[in-house]
Structure 1
Amino acid sequence: MNALTAWLERYILPIAAKIGGQKHLVALRDAFIGTMPATMAGSIAVMINAIIRDLPKEFIDGYDGTTIPVIKQIISVNGFVWNGTIAIAGLIFAFSWGYNLAKAYNVNVLAGGIVSLAALIQGISFGPSNSADLGMKIPEKIATAITGSEIGATVTPDGQLSVGLWGWLNLNHLNGNAFFTAMIIGAVSVIIFAKLMQKNITIKLPDSVPPAVSSAFAAIIPATVALYVVAIFNFAFGELTGQLFIDWIQEMIAKPLMGFTQGLGAILVIQLAIQIFWFFGIHGTNVMAPVLEGIFGQGQLINIDIYQKGYNGLEGRAAVLEAIKDGKAFMWVRGSFDIFSMFGGSGGTITLILALLLFSKRADYLTIAKLSLGPGIFNINEPIMFGLPIVLNAIMFIPFILAPIVATTIGYLATSWGLVAPVTQAVAWVVPPGLLAFLATGADWRAPIVSLICMAATFIIWVPFVIAANKMDPALGENEN
């Protein structure tokens, strides 16, 4: 064990530390965290609708919440919340990404957020530029009134109404589908902006000018250059390929990458990386946030979106399951890790706490377990991670790595085999295990049972190592005899 720890400290720890401190990855992590107020609000709205609109259908034939007074108004209000959150999650992320990236470069953070947002918007679809023939013949007086109007309608000589569709923003370019494009375009535009700011290629005003005005003017030249660079790229890309960059990214990069990460092998590699980072005291979920949030988080937002909007005439959970078959939704998303392997925190440490309380004979371990039980119920595991500690504790390395791998495998197989519904709701990570699984899957009663099975499996893994730790001297870390 000591040899293993020494090897990990020598070869793995330096790499882990560099990755954990890389400023662009830190900014990306903080960008995802920054979107939480909006995405959680939208997720709460969708979850409430799931409970009052969709769940009763499982038990009451003919139930339709949209026709029941008060309930239908609540559903409508939640729809407005969704419009301003999940439906435009890509826009929210673009601003948060630019803000945090500018912060990493120590330049104007507000301008950085605006540049990133503007760079994304300029490359999305505003509707087809050609008109659509509606196949409708209308009276001459009406045709004369609307021809050339602001709605873009025209009438052909034979009286056929044609409506220009330009100006309609494509929601599929504003929601979670925009994440990958926002990462790339936002990074390019904000880094250009930041570099120009750092070189003082700015408009300088007298010291008498208020700081807010001076700061805004200083950002004009860097922001303009950055946005023109992106605009020229968008133009050239469109001319060469005949499509928008955001559509190309979605088809050529985002979908294949997200499809690849739906495999059990890829998921286990990600889970393994999280655990290794944590073992060295580096917040594994934060370091892996670009993958967890950028890929699996995007998949979760897409699932939530489909759950709310429906798919192929289906609603709620049925819509998501149908969309998964067509490759439009995802079986394993960000919340899947939370409900199947991160109960009590990364590593499923709530089961370690239970194992300590039942089988440990060490006074120090028992004291830490008692202190960690309360936070652990709410998935906060820093007390056990650093108090026991698990960090750099050789005897805890194997179960800390193995337990979540086993739990993830159980959860993955249960979901892929249809034994439990996929995650379709975003629930605050501090919700206790079991209840978290129930809510995240759209109130699937089977989810807490699968989560409990995962917990039982990890408990069995932890127990032998807890018993083995009883033979270690707490002070010297050696066998008592």
Structure 2
Amino acid sequence: MMTFIDKYIMPGAVKVGNNRHLLAIRDALIGMIAITMIGSFAVLFNNLGQVIKPYGRMMEAIFGPAWNTLGGDIWFGTFAFMTVFAVFGISYKLARSYGDDGFEAMLVSAACFFLLLPQIGNVTLTIDDKAVSGGAWGFVSVNYFNATALFTGIVVALIATEIFVRLSRVKYLVIKLPDGVPPAVARSFAKLIPGMATIFAAGLFGLLFRKATDGQVLNDWLSKVIVSPLQSAVDSLPFAILLVFLVHLLWMIGLHGPNILGGITTPLFESSGVKNIDLYAKGVKDLDQYGVLAGSFLDAFVYLGGSGATLGLIIAMIIAGRKRYKQMIALGGAPGVFQINEPILFGLPIVLNPMWFIPFVLGPVITTVISYIAVSSGMVFPIVAKIPWVTPPIVGGFLATGGHVSGAILAAINLVISTAIYLPFVYAQVKIDTKNKTELTKDSETLSV
């Protein structure tokens, strides 16, 4: 595996990793680590009461029924606007890579992103005890700002910045003011026409796009194009493999896979989960009547530590790179135990990082196949209880199967498998980092001489 990685993965990873656009995305996401960390802990503490009931009762007794309001406010100020932060950060970093100061570029990109959003939302009001529905201007769903729209935000930030920077280099579009004008004012006027032209181009594109797609905005169209092939979803191993593969492939390109595909998977899993619960309540012993892809199947057996089974990655870091990843282990370890892995996804980062593509995508696919076969064959009891997604691995497998040890054993086996898959890639990354550090030291010594 190490030879294969050195020969086929590392050269491509180094080449792609030096791409200025990917570097801008990576640096922006890493720069958001404070936002993702505090948001992750807020979600963790708010949902912990669902898993540990005494904790929930204690917090309610001390702080009252609304004890989780603070956590909700922190989530709203962080994760609810993740795409907005990403647009600012990516545009700034990309413009800086071209030698621009980045300030005007990030403002122009943000304007382009906002003008591509829908301005009218469907609202239902109660008037004289009657529900009245209709479109209202100025109501925008939070889904257009959070991680669900992250891919759209990345695309808009990259394209808008490219247009703005290139137009800023056209001397006929640059307005030069006298020398006595303050530098900040001179810079703003110098990029006045490029900024206006970029925003106008984005607005014109949005208008033509809506007309060409019967009123759809860019983000909705992307979601529809991705989700539509999955309309005929069924409880089968091929669909399970396809679903898990797409979820993690979308994550790799910056798209929130579970949210994007939720319109298909949530109704499917919920209906099959309720059916299993009803059969279990009736005392049905025939396991063939139970659905496999039901309820919390993925949370209990596949998403161990979150999408990509990143708790296995954290364990692999502890084994192979404890010194190199000391801070990342400290930051992502506790949230990872409760299935929250944004600090790892955006802090390492995994998103848009070709080095982690194979283990992040392949690992969950393998554990999905193992889990599906284990449940469908009767070796492991099916999902008969709904668990919060923040339930720790192994414990989740035990609770989701109605307290059957087989569920906990399957989750534990999958966690070991995920760790084994991540391990060689952690060794490879440590090797790359060591090599880069050595070369940097040599270059520094040469320059000093």
| TM value normalised by structure 2 | 0.59
Please tell me whether the aligned partners of residues 337 and 408 of structure 1 are also in contact (alpha carbons under 8 angstroms): yes
| 2:51 maps to 1:55 | yes
Show the counterpart of 2:338: none
Please tell me whether the aligned partners of residues 87 and 171 of structure 1 are also in contact (alpha carbons under 8 angstroms): yes
Q: 1:5-154 alignment to 2 at 5 Å? A: 9=7, 14-52=11-49, 54-57=50-53, 68-70=61-63, 72-128=65-121, 136=128
Please tell me whether the aligned partners of residues 93 and 179 of structure 1 are also in contact (alpha carbons under 8 angstroms): yes
**Deviation of 1:225 (Å):** 0.7
State the alpha-carbon separation in 2 of the partners of residues 402 and 178 from structure 1. 24
Show the counterpart of 1:360: none
Show the counterpart of 1:337: 308
Show the counterpart of 1:245: 218
| 2:189 maps to 1:192 | no
State the alpha-carbon separation in 1 of the partners of residues 395 and 119 from structure 2. 36
**Deviation of 1:47 (Å):** 0.7
Show the counterpart of 1:358: none
Q: 1:298-377 alignment to 2 at 5 Å? A: 299=258, 332=303, 335-337=306-308, 339-344=310-315, 348=316, 350-351=318-319, 373=322
Structure 1 residues 406 and 38, CA gap change in structure 2 (3 angstroms): closer
**Structure 1 counterpart of 2:51, which letter?**
L
Structure 1 residues 88 and 422, CA gap change in structure 2 (3 angstroms): farther
State the alpha-carbon separation in 2 of the partners of residues 407 and 110 from structure 1. 40
State the alpha-carbon separation in 1 of the partners of residues 203 and 422 from structure 2. 55
Please tell me whether the aligned partners of residues 227 and 261 of structure 2 are also in contact (alpha carbons under 8 angstroms): no
Please tell me whether the aligned partners of residues 113 and 156 of structure 2 are also in contact (alpha carbons under 8 angstroms): yes
Q: Give the SS at the match of 2:30.
A: helix
Please tell me whether the aligned partners of residues 177 and 302 of structure 1 are also in contact (alpha carbons under 8 angstroms): no
Structure 1 residues 208 and 66, CA gap change in structure 2 (3 angstroms): same
Structure 1 residues 31 and 8, CA gap change in structure 2 (3 angstroms): same
State the alpha-carbon separation in 2 of the partners of residues 440 and 29 from structure 1. 32
State the alpha-carbon separation in 1 of the partners of residues 100 and 9 from structure 2. 33
Show the counterpart of 1:276: none
Q: 1:448-463 alignment to 2 at 5 Å? A: 453-454=413-414, 456-457=416-417
**What percentage of residue pairs aligned between the two structures are identical?**
23
Q: 1:367-446 alignment to 2 at 5 Å? A: 373=322, 408=364, 411-413=367-369, 424=389
Structure scoring higher RCO (CA < 8 A, sep ≥ 6) equals: 2
**Structure 1 counterpart of 2:88, which letter?**
F
Please tell me whether the aligned partners of residues 437 and 451 of structure 1 are also in contact (alpha carbons under 8 angstroms): yes
**Structure 1 counterpart of 2:188, which letter?**
A
- CA offsets 1:421-453 (integer angstroms, 9 cap, x no match): 99956xxxxxxxxx9858999x99999976753
Structure 1 residues 265 and 333, CA gap change in structure 2 (3 angstroms): farther
Residue 254 of structure 2, aligned match among 279, 294, 303: 294
Please tell me whether the aligned partners of residues 134 and 163 of structure 1 are also in contact (alpha carbons under 8 angstroms): no
Structure 1 residues 205 and 455, CA gap change in structure 2 (3 angstroms): same
Residue 179 of structure 1, aligned match among 150, 175, 182: 150
- CA offsets 1:161-187 (integer angstroms, 9 cap, x no match): 898721112212122221122122222
Please tell me whether the aligned partners of residues 406 and 458 of structure 1 are also in contact (alpha carbons under 8 angstroms): no
Segment of structure 1 superposing worse, 198-207 or 186-195: 198-207
**Structure 1 counterpart of 2:35, which letter?**
A
Structure 1 residues 39 and 264, CA gap change in structure 2 (3 angstroms): same
**Structure 2 counterpart of 1:45, which letter?**
A
Show the counterpart of 1:210: 182
**Deviation of 1:76 (Å):** 0.6
| 2:181 maps to 1:221 | no
State the alpha-carbon separation in 2 of the partners of residues 462 and 168 from structure 1. 43
**Deviation of 1:413 (Å):** 4.9
Please tell me whether the aligned partners of residues 127 and 170 of structure 1 are also in contact (alpha carbons under 8 angstroms): no
Two-structure CA RMSD over aligned residues (Å): 5.5
Structure 1 residues 402 and 19, CA gap change in structure 2 (3 angstroms): closer
State the alpha-carbon separation in 2 of the partners of residues 440 and 101 from structure 1. 42
**Deviation of 1:196 (Å):** 1.1
**Structure 2 counterpart of 1:231, which letter?**
G
State the alpha-carbon separation in 1 of the partners of residues 27 and 6 from structure 2. 28
**Deviation of 1:217 (Å):** 2.6
Q: Give the SS at the match of 1:208.
A: coil
**Deviation of 1:126 (Å):** 2.4
State the alpha-carbon separation in 2 of the partners of residues 120 and 28 from structure 1. 16
Point out where structure 1 has 5 or more consecutive residues left out of the alignment. Answer: 139-159, 272-287, 319-323, 354-371, 381-399, 426-434, 464-481
Structure 1 residues 457 and 264, CA gap change in structure 2 (3 angstroms): same
Q: Give the SS at the match of 1:335.
A: coil
| TM value normalised by structure 1 | 0.55
State the alpha-carbon separation in 2 of the partners of residues 187 and 83 from structure 1. 25
Please tell me whether the aligned partners of residues 24 and 93 of structure 2 are also in contact (alpha carbons under 8 angstroms): yes
Structure 1 residues 35 and 462, CA gap change in structure 2 (3 angstroms): closer
Alignment size in residue pairs? 350
State the alpha-carbon separation in 2 of the partners of residues 115 and 440 from structure 1. 46
Please tell me whether the aligned partners of residues 120 and 136 of structure 2 are also in contact (alpha carbons under 8 angstroms): yes
**Deviation of 1:294 (Å):** 0.5
